[in-house]
Structure 1
Amino acid sequence: MIQRKKQRYILPLIFTLLISLIVGCTNSSTSSPTNESNSNSDGKVQFHLGETINPEQVSNFNPLLATGNWENLFQYIYEPLFYFNQVEGELIPIIATDLGTWSEDQKSFTITIKDGVKWHDGTEFSAEDILYTFNSLKENKALDRYQIWGDKRLSEVVVEGDTVVFKLNEKFPSLPFYLSTVDIVPKHIFEKEDPATFLNKEPIGTGPFVFKSVNESAIILEKNAEHYSTPPKIDELVIQRFNNASTLTLALEKGEVHASTGTIAMPSIPKLLENSANKMQVYPGLTVFSVIMNNEKPGLDDVAVRKAIQLAIDRKTLIEKGEMDAVFPANPGFLPKVFGEMADDSLFENSDYSYNIEQAMKTLEDAGYKKNSNGIYEKNGKELSFVYNMASNAPAQNKEGTMITQWLQEVGIKTTVKLVTWPELTKLAMAGDFDLLQNGIEFPPDPQASLEVFHSSMTAPIGENTTGLNYMRFKDADVDKWLDEAFAADPDKRKELYAKVQKRIADLAPIAVMYNVGGHVPYRVDKFTNFKEDVPVFSALSLSQVELK
């Protein structure tokens, strides 16, 4: 069967309402930026993209590695077979000529690569590069973060001229969406190295922008004038590095940068949008920010404690005061509304999982916990006291973490806050070296993949890196069974099984959700035009088309 139509998921009504609200805030007059930062001394047109990037995030430029990099960079330099557009909920062919062809038995998926694709060093791109990339994931399990390979998934990749055939052990209808998560790397460079450790300091890709340099203040990319599609209209993409969201937001206000990938001091949104030069693109998406609980740690291995933490978090206040209504409500059963009817709407506002300090304390007391002289619940002489890890130099996250730890204190759960960098958060989560950890979990654009975050095959014992995104070390035989059954089921059966999984996750509370994030992307329209607003405006598809007014 040939996939001709773009794959879509239904976007929630709240998206439309939120966009209307934000557009309504942008009716004041335009003011000119105080810094003319549109060209360099050579007269080259520069687009300045601002982002908070720590030194640890430029330690490698290998798109196959999960840590030590700023992942958004890769979409400008490298390309996947398909791109998942979160704004429209669709797949877009990138290196592939179209959305591929399924065999009659649904166990073979074939794509054809586009003509004229070249690596930045002039080497011809070929299907062998695709074969090498996917085989690297197969041979290095730590690189296969979404487990594309496996007993019920990919079994073999075969090259036939300019076509690539993905062969499956069983039906895996979500495969094209998983393929969108893998950037293709150059075989002629990576085969000389160990792809699991290669730092790739001078990245060579096929994308619309070419790596030029990196320093303490910026990552500088040049346009790929030989790009097989439409070469960028700007000469350079300058990714300015900031220490925190507040200074980045100030630079946006002054016009010193023209956009961000989404980092912004959230309380500044109303002021930012008073100037009609500034716009905000908002869409739901594939990241759920949560308090990740290590289900193998003493205390957190008790469902009563986890449920108390779940009940202690006021999600509405986090969204209103921490994120200025620029994110979306999260599902206690984890599956976000970007997946339409597959998400169980009944769970979102269910009082059983909503903020309730009194019920949180009752849950603990019913489980045999009693408050000690310090007002902290304990059982068998062991206090409920945990280390709470969250990102440093992240004002909104720090504000939200402060609110959450105060609510936990009110319940009778003690926390010791530890600030670490974003890369360190990922390392802690993967290795299980944490009690509580505030971060987002981003998953492939597929409801099965979202819920398989909780499959036991996606985790590992404390001290070993997880094979998937199950940082919680959560295990439940029924959840595994239902997800296995849903894997190749028809849509109606999938919906039924997903509802069971979501309810079980909400009841066992292996994670305490905060909110769902796709994008809240600030950008300026006073100096540049032709942003593609039907895709993320900071994406390579958009920034390769922007031009000076």
Structure 2
Amino acid sequence: PASASPTGCGPASPWWRRTWPTSSGRARCGSSGCCPAASPPTLVEGPGTIFEPLFYFNLAGPGDPVQRLGTEYSWNDDGTELSITLREGVTWSDGEAFDADDVKFTFDMIAADRVPNTVGFHGTTEVVDPTHLVVTFDGPAYMEGPQLLGKTWIVPEHIWSGIEDPNTDTVSEPVGTGPYTLGDFKGQAFTLDANPDYWGGEPELTHVMYRSLSGNQASADALAAGQVDVYSGPVPDIANVEEDYPGYQAITVPMNQAVLDTCANAELGCEGPQTDPAVRQAIYHAMDRGQINQLAFQNTASEMSPGFALPERDAAYVSDALENPTVPMQPDLARVDEILTGAGYARGGDGIYAKDGERLALTVTVVSGWTDYITALETLREQLSPAGIELTVNQVSWNEMSDARARGGFQLVIDSLYPGPAPDPFYLYSYFYGTENTAEVGESADTNYSRYSNAEVDAALEALTQLNPEDMAARMPHYDVIQQRIEQDMPYIPILTGGTTTEFHAAKFSGWPSLDDLYAFPATWSRPDQSQMYMNLAPTGE
């Protein structure tokens, strides 16, 4: 069996403990994290599997988008009109025909804010014929394309037009065009069954069973016991997965960038020493990243740019204007002292720096059960002590961390900054550094949890929205500005680029992504990437 669970809270229920019969077409997938127990299945795991996007943009590297419900798209010369061609002969899983009216209905629902409109889409969609439509924007909207085309899940008008409130009404029997339909669903536990009428042919992986696991250790235990066939997350001794877990292999891909989120902006209500850029810079230079990588991440993490363009995937975007193209791997305590004394701090009798009678003592929040991050912080705590900075590690639940981060009720939080809908650092900059995505402390910030606000960065982001993504010569000066500013201000303190490791049962299934054929970002919790992976798997008969 194969079961996958990109998210999960609490111990497994008895429903999960039942034994699946051995079957070459079933897979069990496990992952730790958190999801609401009462979430409808469309929110739990529908994207990509049940409900499809028009195209698939591979975050793991550059390349042409993969056709899903769409077959072609193009922009007019000024980026204000997006023309889309749809696949012919597609049906919904209830047998009804899919056409351009369904896409228009979905886009209109988002534009009217009837469902979460996370990117502020307000384009006008017109149907040309059953397989063609045009989306018109008020101004250049190149950067909205990947979200609309690759991260918008198309829903059936003939069903969703009768839903009074799509934000709250539960869709207990979802109808989609995707390769899977919903099987059993009980709280956090559910299965996906192959769609026999899928336009691309019924997947060879006929069933996916999702298991909810309570943390990294529980996930590793399930893998060791052979209870899951694929899991995205750390396990002990990652370098020797093939020896420790017979039949399994692992792949590690650098993607999400581990950071210390700081509540950085005193003008928006942040309080604490971390509001001083000098303190953030001092922490940055006090880290022994090589030791953190070894002790916390089993050397699966990799170098990171202080400008937050991925060094490998986004090599063309890394600015020459940066002081350092990548973060230092070894600590520089002399630089730490220079930075802090220059900002008015002095060592106290206890060895900790202080300024205006306030010791340089900080609290960092981490989700309980995130063993790799907890180890990273305990290691960092020991590293910062001789640097004259006191760090206290506070373990809380996912919900507590998420709420504190959103409302600014924290000093430091360890987490990672994630990429956007396409392999372009613009999206990360917009999400986490754009003023429009933050709020005063006490109010919920969308994604800019640090409360960072810089007029030059905002102007560069606005300029980038007006430019064709293929015009690198025109775009690069704006990336230079952004990367210079965020390296200097450092509202998110870089740690390392996290290596997302996925362990999978290679003896039982073929077709897993590899470093030579990275056709999808191989993480069970990443959508719609997971659907690309499931569609590529085939049972070996083992």
Q: Is the structural similarity TM-score above 0.5?
A: yes
Report the equivalent of 1:475.
Answer: 453
The CA deviation string for residues 416-448 of structure 1, in whole angstroms up to 9 with x for no partner, is 333234454333333323221111222312222
1:212-361 equivalent positions in 2, closer than 5 A? 212-215=183-186, 218-260=189-231, 262-265=232-235, 267-274=236-243, 277-285=247-255, 287-296=256-265, 297-298=270-271, 299-337=273-311, 338-344=313-319, 355-361=331-337
Classify 1:348/1:241 alpha carbon distance in 2 versus 1 (closer, same or farther; 3 Å): farther
Report the equivalent of 2:50.
Answer: 77
Classify 1:450/1:546 alpha carbon distance in 2 versus 1 (closer, same or farther; 3 Å): same
Report the equivalent of 2:445.
Answer: 466
AA aligned opposite 2:425: P
Does the 8 Å CA contact 1:91/1:99 hold for their aligned counterparts?
A: no
Q: CA deviation at 1:474?
A: 0.4
Classify 1:411/1:133 alpha carbon distance in 2 versus 1 (closer, same or farther; 3 Å): farther
The CA deviation string for residues 15-59 of structure 1, in whole angstroms up to 9 with x for no partner, is xxxxxxxxxxxxxxxxxxxxxx999349683111121244x4443
Query: Which of the residues 404, 419, 431 maps onto 1:428?
Result: 404
2:110, 2:383 → 1: CA distance? 42
1:22-41 equivalent positions in 2, closer than 5 A? 40-41=20-21
Classify 1:397/1:201 alpha carbon distance in 2 versus 1 (closer, same or farther; 3 Å): farther
**Is 195-204 or 164-173 further displaced after alignment?**
195-204
Query: Which of the residues 406, 425, 431 maps onto 1:447?
Result: 425
Report the equivalent of 2:127.
Answer: 159
**Is 405-414 or 296-305 further displaced after alignment?**
405-414
Does the 8 Å CA contact 1:50/1:240 hold for their aligned counterparts?
A: yes
Does the 8 Å CA contact 1:60/1:200 hold for their aligned counterparts?
A: no
AA aligned opposite 1:451: Y
AA aligned opposite 1:278: Y
2:362, 2:114 → 1: CA distance? 31
Does the 8 Å CA contact 1:83/1:93 hold for their aligned counterparts?
A: yes
Using the aligned pairs only, state the percent identity: 22
The CA deviation string for residues 100-157 of structure 1, in whole angstroms up to 9 with x for no partner, is 1222433211112223333444444343333343334334399333x253xxxx5323
- In the alignment, structure 2 segments of 5+ residues that lack a partner are 1-16, 525-529
Classify 1:413/1:116 alpha carbon distance in 2 versus 1 (closer, same or farther; 3 Å): farther
Report the equivalent of 1:28.
Answer: none
Q: CA deviation at 1:505?
A: 0.6
Normalised TM-score (structure 2):
0.82
Does the 8 Å CA contact 1:219/1:241 hold for their aligned counterparts?
A: no
Query: Which of the residues 421, 444, 457 maps onto 2:436?
Result: 457
Query: Which of the residues 522, 525, 528 maps onto 2:503?
Result: 522
2:333, 2:156 → 1: CA distance? 54
The CA deviation string for residues 371-405 of structure 1, in whole angstroms up to 9 with x for no partner, is 44554433333333333111221211211122223
Normalised TM-score (structure 1):
0.81
Query: How many residues matched?
Result: 497
Classify 1:148/1:111 alpha carbon distance in 2 versus 1 (closer, same or farther; 3 Å): farther
AA aligned opposite 1:227: Y
2:507, 2:368 → 1: CA distance? 32
CA root-mean-square deviation: 3.1
Q: CA deviation at 1:462?
A: 1.6
